[in-house]
A and B are shown apart, each in its own frame.
Chain A
Amino acid sequence: MSETAGRPIAPLRVTPDKYVPYRYAGASGDFNPIHVDGEFARAVGLPGAILHGLYVMSLVARAATAEAGGDPRALKRLSVQFRGMSFPEQEIEVTGEAVADPDGRSETIALEATQGETRVIRRGSALIERS
């Protein structure tokens, strides 16, 4: 994962139910048919409707925020790269390693999200500051 080995954070495991893409589409406003229409998704060469990448990023954000006791103010920055596709009804696991920053108040967490053998999000990096 990261070049520098850090302290592993508590992993976050979520199995989104089959309706999550619809509910996330409604919550976010992103109704791209590859997320909500399995027939359309297959017509463009996908195995079926796929989860929104930004939904999976929200799980990465939640894993990082949980490290700071769930305080949403603590997450100062989050960057990710989207790689593989992910699907409803299969478990997603977010793992990370935290490295304390020299200032002692903040830490940087290297994160990734996987589903089975697929790396869905890689090179995630979160900066958290405890108040």
Chain B
Amino acid sequence: MTLKTDAIGKSWPAHEYEVGREKIREYAQVTGYESPVHFDRDAARGAGYRDVVAPPMFCVVYSAGAMGPVLFDPEVGMDFAAMVHGAQEFEGGEPVCSGDVITTTPSCVDIQERAGKGFYVFRTESVNQDGAPVVTGTWTNIVRGVGS
């Protein structure tokens, strides 16, 4: 079986996510952030933010809705039973604060076979309501048992 690579270069519809203060607090709490800039509006403003600011990895929360349709797209055709999340990269721009509206556009950067495994690389570009880039994500999923 040859690895299907038709989806390389494909992009999917943008996904919009409105960031709420309680969601930031919930995320910051479970991941162990204690700085008041993640919980308290006055503290965040005092530190120069518009409002309560999200920890850097909160990007997975607003990007997830964009990645869902990508992972389930039959044109990508990943076998979930044999898939693992192999690697992840985030590169940040503007901080994300409560009240921001983040728009994330996913695309497929690469699909290739190495040593019988399929490496699927996707990119998400997230911008805020002012069009300023907030995060670029690179998501690598590895699927075992592909190829000839």
Residues of chain A whose beta carbon lies under 8 Å from any beta carbon of chain B = 14, 20, 23-24, 26-30, 44, 53-55, 57-59, 61-62, 65, 70, 72-73, 75-82
Contacts and interface: CB of A to CB of B under 8 A. Distances in A.
Contact of A75 (B81, B85, B92): B92
A24 B31 CA distance: 8
Instruction: Decide if the interface of chain A is mainly helix, strand, loop or mixed.
Output: helix
A72 B55 contact: yes
Interface stretch (B32-40, B108-116, B125-133): B32-40
Q: Which of A20, A30, A59, A61 has the most chain B CB within a 10 Å cutoff?
A: A61
A62 to B, nearest CB: 6
Q: Which of B23, B29, B31, B91 has the most chain A CB within a 10 Å cutoff?
A: B31
B30 A54 contact: no
A79 B88 contact: yes
A89 to B, nearest CB: 15
A55 B55 CA distance: 12
Contact of B55 (A44, A62, A76): A62
A72 B64 contact: no
Given A28-B27, A28-B60, A81 B87 contact: yes
Interface string B46-83: 00000001111100110011000000000000000100
Contact of A82 (B65, B88, B91): B88
Nearest to B37: A72
Contacts of B91: 76-77
Contacts of B12: none
A78 B55 contact: no
B26 interface: yes
Interface string B117-142: 00000000000000000000010000
